């Protein structure tokens, strides 16, 4: 993997760059649709490619390991061959999912023991076997196995958790460096900065991660219950330390406003289930604000979903029609809303990139934050 930093905003830390992988080039800043179990919910890949303009998608190690399982994925020739997506893929390590199973997991120095949410079977994730699993999945970008403490974790817990994450990281890096990809293309390995909401722990973690000299770095453990301003503070602390010439990936974030604020602070890559999950529940993100498509006010509104044309959904779909589909519990409603929201997120980061290259990012961002926060 290679990263080229093309532009830096003169008034902020916003950046525009190019990530080059064996499966294609990614223009940053970028949003990555979440394809947890080898599919982006309610969206065809031709829509991801042609309408949404996705450049990279995610898969999840925890879910893919359990189903369809490593044997199937290896027989298929990796996830790209299994699901037919020929552009880059990033896999989360499964650390967040194991963290979410707090009632059904046990953390030890060797790794995390957990029970499957599918059938209750017992499993162990270690820093080493998570690398091996991601080698079999075949992602272009692989993530280190870490522990993700909750946003309100006390200092003692966060400190202990960070020590464990750093030990695991050393073991994961070693395993990655002594193994090779299985399918004839290169893979890269991102460490993850943790440290909860404590500046000294975040600084310590960022310094340790930066010292490893990997091809890219991630910031984890944010948007997990801490106040938004704390999240922004942690991003600023970390990005003062992480190298400028490597891409920075903020994991699991977030709202359109979160993304713009993080871009201003020097983040390059994002993912979140929000556009698809919220879309399936009738919430649409637009350039003018947020719409609840079940509201009565859209009943006879025959205008396009987004008046500024940032929706890549067929413009024959009006607000009134989409509301009708949601009220009728028609499955097409979830598909249209998911495509629209993902297209909007990709439009937003693409427009941010354009504004960065033109030197107009900050005033544009400030105006967009005001508009994006409205409830229509």
Residues labelled as active-site residues = 92, 271
Q: Is the CB of residue 265 less than 8 Å from the CB of residue 235? A: yes
- Which residue blocks in 241-308 are alpha helix, DSSP H? 256-264, 274-280
Listed in sequence order, the residues at least 6 apart from 178 whose beta carbon sits closer than 8 Å to its beta carbon are none
State how far the Cα of 264 lies from the Cα of 110, in Å rounded to an integer: 38
CB 114 within 8 A of CB 123: yes
- Name which of 281, 355, 341 is nearest 311 in CA terms: 341
What's the rounded Cα separation, in Å, for the pair 90 and 35?
10
* Total number of residues shown for the chain: 376
DSSP H/E element including 219 = strand 217-219
Burial bucket for residue 199 (CB in 10 Å: 0-12, 13-18, 19+): middle
Long-range contacts of 163-171 (CB under 8 A, 24+ apart): 164/107, 164/109, 165/192, 165/194, 165/205, 166/205, 166/208, 167/109, 168/111, 168/126, 168/127, 168/144, 169/127, 169/144, 169/208, 169/209, 169/212, 171/126, 171/127, 171/128
Question: What is the token pair recorded at 192?
Answer: 């993850």
d(CA 244, CA 238): 11
* Order of strands, sheet of 24-28, starting from the edge strand that comes earlier in the sequence: 2-8, 15-21, 24-28
Closest among 42, 161, 69, 184 to 112, alpha carbons compared: 161
């990997």: which residue's tokens?
A: 214
Helix axes of 331-358 and 319-327: crossing angle, nearest 10 degrees:
140
From CA 50, how far away is CA 23, in angstroms rounded?
17
């Amino acid at each position: 993997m290679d990263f080229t930093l093309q532009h830096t905003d003169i008034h902020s830390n916003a950046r525009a760059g190019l990530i080059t992988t064996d499966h294609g080039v990614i223009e940053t800043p970028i949003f990555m649709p979440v394809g947890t179990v080898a599919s982006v919910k309610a969206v065809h890949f031709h829509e991801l490619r042609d309408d949404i303009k996705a450049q990279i998608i995610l898969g999840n190690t925890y879910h893919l390991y359990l189903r369809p399982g490593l044997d199937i994925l290896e027989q298929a020739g990796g996830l790209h061959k299994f699901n037919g997506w020929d552009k880059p893929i990033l896999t989360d390590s499964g650390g967040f999912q194991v963290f979410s199973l707090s009632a059904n997991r046990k953390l030890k120095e060797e790794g995390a023991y957990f029970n499957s949410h599918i059938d209750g079977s017992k499993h162990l994730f270690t820093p080493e076997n998570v690398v091996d699993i991601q080698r079999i999945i075949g992602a272009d970008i692989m993530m280190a196995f870490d522990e993700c403490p909750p946003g309100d974790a006390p200092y003692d817990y966060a400190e202990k958790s960070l020590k464990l994450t750093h030990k695991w990281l050393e073991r994961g890096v070693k395993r990655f460096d002594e193994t090779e990809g299985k399918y004839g293309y290169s893979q890269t390995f991102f460490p993850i900065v943790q440290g909860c909401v404590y500046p000294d722990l975040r600084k310590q973690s960022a310094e340790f991660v930066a010292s490893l000299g990997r091809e890219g770095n991630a910031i984890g453990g944010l948007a997990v219950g801490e106040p938004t301003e704390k999240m922004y503070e942690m991003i600023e602390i970390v990005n003062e330390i992480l190298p400028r010439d490597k891409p920075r990936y903020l994991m699991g974030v977030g709202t359109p406003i979160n993304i713009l604020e993080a871009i201003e602070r020097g983040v390059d890559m994002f993912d979140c289930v929000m556009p698809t999950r919220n879309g399936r529940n009738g919430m649409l993100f637009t350039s003018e604000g947020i719409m609840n498509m079940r509201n009565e006010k859209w009943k006879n509104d025959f205008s396009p979903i987004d008046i500024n044309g940032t929706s890549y959904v067929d413009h024959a779909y009006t607000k009134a029609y989409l509301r009708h589909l949601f009220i009728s519990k028609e499955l097409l409603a979830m598909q249209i809303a998911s495509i629209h929201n993902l297209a909007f997120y990709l439009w937003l980061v693409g427009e941010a990139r354009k504004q960065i290259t033109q030197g107009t990012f900050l005033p544009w961002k400030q105006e967009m934050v005001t508009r994006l926060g409205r409830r229509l």
